[in-house]
Chains A and B, each alone.
Chain A
Amino acid sequence: MKRALVIDDEPLARMVVLEYLQAFSDQIEVIQECNDGFEGLKAIQQHQPDLVFLDVQMPKINGFEMLELVEQQPAVIFTTAFDEYAIKAFEAHAVDYLLKPFSKDRFNKAIEKYLAQAPAGKQQAKQTEDLLEAVAQSPAQHERIVVKTGTKVKIIPVHDVQYLQADDDYVSVFTQEGSYLKNKTMNFFEQTLDPRYFVRVHRSYMVAIQQITRIDPYEKDSHLAILKSGAKIPVSKTGYVKLKQVLGI
């Protein structure tokens, strides 16, 4: 018996999934319905479901942002009404998705496909991760960074970010209130954050140029960027070139 979650902020949309799922009641059991990404995240961590039906547009954090915070990716069937970018990403990464309103036939196909490949769970998790990487490039995702602090979810608007520092497999996101860990690489942020506002000044640092108050020479070939908060960020030789380009000096 597979255990499934239905995450959608519209009760009627969840009802369609539940209704269609009745045909598979001997194979799939819905353990919980969730109203938004926060509930969804909690439920995924608590129940470790095999399958998740996930809406993309939801309050506060969208479906992709929720998945980013999940450690063990379950199999996901996305449901969405209209999102050009997401659809492109789904197609590129062969993750199954249902466009609302979807027919029972289309739904059955998705379930059968899932049941057929269910043992290969690892491969699906990899597909989902690739998908998240791809959608993170969409313009809508550039405006905030969603992180987990303990059991809570914190949404950091990008304009609150002062700088980013590489930290082993993580990146620390520094804001006025403190720093938050995000399990992504520096390269990921370099690709997703707006290059007009964020510059990779060093192998391990990216800085919000609005925050820089001055740039001092440091050792041979390197500089230090002094931020409004007083933080001193090392700037490498190539980082300095990039910084000068963005600042137009």
Chain B
Amino acid sequence: MAVSSITQSKLYGLFTACGLAWTILVACIIHNFGFIWYIALTDGMVSAILLAAACWLINNNLRYYQPGKGSYINLLIWCLALAGICTAGCRWIIPYLTSSNVYMNFLSQSLSIRFFTDFMAIGWMAMISMLWYSQLDHKETEKRKSEAERLARDAELYNLRQQLQPHFLFNSLNSINALIGFKPDEARKMIHQLSDFLRGTLKKDDQLLVPLSDELQHLNLYLDIEKVRFGHRLDTEISCDKHCGEAVLPSMLLQPIVENAIKFGLYDTTEKVTVSLRAEMEGSSLVVMVQNPYDPQTSRPKGTGFGLRGVQRRLYLLFARNDLMETHANDNIFTTIIKIPQV
């Protein structure tokens, strides 16, 4: 997490400061009992270093392992054991550094109080670490949750808008309005195409698998309408091997891909645009490739848009595979390829 990496250095600083304070505190207490500063400081340093090591250990443990409800007793045992090790460490290390008999005596007498303070300090550390890491964990889950919710909301909104397709609808009506004046027959034809297309969209069930030939028929209605609007610059090429007409695919899956290709092609260039669709069988999969021209200078490279992401998501939900859609962009041509396994 970015936040913790920034505060990390601050935490280390705080930790070191606490260690220093601990050293000084212990040294002062021992000096007050009448020992010279050398002995007092040595003792302070040794016990502070041991305690710091124990604290670091317990903190690190808790970072990767959050105890469950029943295992607090384990944590208590850990704290007790670490406090014991710290105390024993003082008992065995300090004699190597000083040789005063009076002090040795004092050391063995103070072991119980040392054990107790060490236990308290380690216990504190364990508690703080636990709270800290569980809070981080909590934040992370919260973030993931809100992300997932946002995605779901976006998808829902997009679907709603997609059903309405207001832009397409109003522009088509405007074209009909123009045709009525001087080509009433064509206007009538376009009204029929538009109603057939809308009826097709309304009755489609997202979950259903339909034959490619049906899907292409529906797509052609859409393309014919777009050609009335943009006939002077829109060309489409659809090629489909004979036997893949019977191959099945999720209904309305091609629609957003072709829509995306047309939008991309028409609004990203000012020249004539050819959108091509090719369907073929590859082993036991139906492969559909859609190509459109685009301008790499002005298009965002990530420009897959929600339409294509929705397609990928649907393929994933239906087939539990993430590799069924790919996009390429080169030589001013944008290519979308989808594979539909035939069961």
What residues make up the interface of A, taking CB atoms closer than 8 Å to B?
9-13, 15-16, 19, 35-36, 38, 57-60, 81-82, 99-101, 143-144, 155, 157, 159, 248-249
Contact of A10 among B166, B171, B181 (CB under 8 A): B171
**Contacting pair A16 B268 (CB below 8 A):** no
**Contacting pair B176 A101 (CB below 8 A):** yes
Given A82-B167, A143-B300, A159-B300, verify A16-B178 contact (CB < 8 Å): yes
Given A10-B175, A155-B298, verify A60-B268 contact (CB < 8 Å): yes
Q: Is B267 interfacial (CB-CB < 8 Å)?
A: yes
Number of residues from B at the complex interface, CB < 8 A: 31
Given A10-B230, A11-B232, verify A59-B268 contact (CB < 8 Å): yes
Q: How distant is B19 from chain A, measured CB to nearest CB, in Å?
A: 26
**Contacting pair B178 A19 (CB below 8 A):** yes
**Contacting pair B300 A38 (CB below 8 A):** no
What residues make up the interface of B, taking CB atoms closer than 8 Å to A?
2-3, 6, 166-167, 170-171, 173-179, 181-182, 228-232, 266-270, 295, 297-300
Tell me which residues across on chain A come within 8 A of B2, comparing CB atoms. Answer: 248
Given A59-B269, A157-B298, verify A12-B179 contact (CB < 8 Å): yes
Given A81-B167, A159-B300, verify A59-B178 contact (CB < 8 Å): no
Given A12-B229, A249-B6, verify A59-B266 contact (CB < 8 Å): yes
- Cα of A248 to Cα of B2 in the assembled complex, Å: 9
Q: How distant is B3 from chain A, measured CB to nearest CB, in Å?
A: 8
**Contacting pair A157 B300 (CB below 8 A):** yes
Given A13-B171, A249-B6, verify A59-B270 contact (CB < 8 Å): yes
Tell me which residues across on chain B come within 8 A of A159, comparing CB atoms. Answer: 300
Given A59-B267, A81-B166, verify A12-B298 contact (CB < 8 Å): no
**Contacting pair A38 B174 (CB below 8 A):** no
Q: How distant is A196 from chain B, measured CB to nearest CB, in Å?
A: 14
Q: How distant is B259 from chain A, measured CB to nearest CB, in Å?
A: 14
For this complex, 19 residue pairs linking A to B, each with C-beta atoms less than 8 Å apart, are: A10-B229, A10-B230, A12-B175, A12-B178, A13-B174, A13-B178, A15-B178, A15-B181, A57-B267, A58-B267, A59-B269, A81-B167, A82-B166, A82-B167, A100-B170, A100-B174, A101-B173, A101-B177, A157-B299
Tell me which residues across on chain A come within 8 A of B174, comparing CB atoms. Answer: 10, 12-13, 16, 81, 100-101
If A12-B174, A16-B178, A19-B182 are given as contacts, then 7 extra A-B residue pairs at C-beta distance below 8 Å, sorted by A number, are A11-B231, A13-B175, A60-B295, A81-B167, A101-B174, A155-B297, A157-B300
- Cα of A14 to Cα of B3 in the assembled complex, Å: 56
Q: How distant is B332 from chain A, measured CB to nearest CB, in Å?
A: 14
Closest to A58 in B: B267
**Leading 10 A-B pairs by shortest Cβ distance:** A81-B170, A100-B174, A12-B178, A101-B174, A101-B177, A82-B166, A12-B175, A16-B178, A81-B171, A155-B298
Most buried by A among B177, B230, B232, B297: B177
- Cα of A11 to Cα of B266 in the assembled complex, Å: 14
- Cα of A38 to Cα of B175 in the assembled complex, Å: 23
Closest to A146 in B: B298
Closest to B265 in A: A59
Most buried by B among A35, A38, A81, A144: A81
Q: How distant is B264 from chain A, measured CB to nearest CB, in Å?
A: 11
**Contacting pair B175 A19 (CB below 8 A):** no
Closest to B167 in A: A82
Q: How distant is A248 from chain B, measured CB to nearest CB, in Å?
A: 7
- Cα of A60 to Cα of B166 in the assembled complex, Å: 21
**Contacting pair B298 A144 (CB below 8 A):** yes
